[in-house]
Amino acid sequence: MTASPVSPHPTKTRSGWVTFAGVLFIVVGAVNLLDGVVALVNDDYFLADELLFGDLAAWGVWWLVSGAFQLLTGLALLARRTFSFVFAVGIAVLNAFTQLMWIGAYPAWAIAAIVVDGLIIWALTTHIEDFE
């Protein structure tokens, strides 16, 4: 019998929850990018009169910027970059609050987005050891 080779560097076990949060962040970012493009291109798509405040072009720019940051943060989460934890939790909280401003126009969509943001926050804060 031969002995199995032992690695001099123990491998870290990673939870799948951070990967789950990263993938969710990428999906949310892609949806927000799409919403931003639609808000800028098709003024009749969203119920602008039901929004809490602001005009649709400003919201379109907001969703484009927000979606881009979410995509980049999702990729950083998948790479387990240390700074991505702080950005991800902050952006998820900001997105959840922003969704509250859309709740009058699209209540089901806004609530679903808030739940997804809550899942992201939970997955990251309960598995912070993956970033060490």
Average pLDDT estimate for 58-79 = 93
pLDDT for position 61: 92
Give domain limits for the chain. Answer: 26-131
pLDDT for position 69: 96
Distances (CA, A) of 132 to 31, 81, 111: 30, 9, 32
Average pLDDT estimate for 61-83 = 94
Pick from 56, 54, 30: nearest CA to 45 = 56
pLDDT at 56 over 70: yes
By CB atoms closer than 10 A (0-12, 13-18, 19+), residue 35 is buried
User: What percent of the chain stands above pLDDT 70?
Assistant: 81
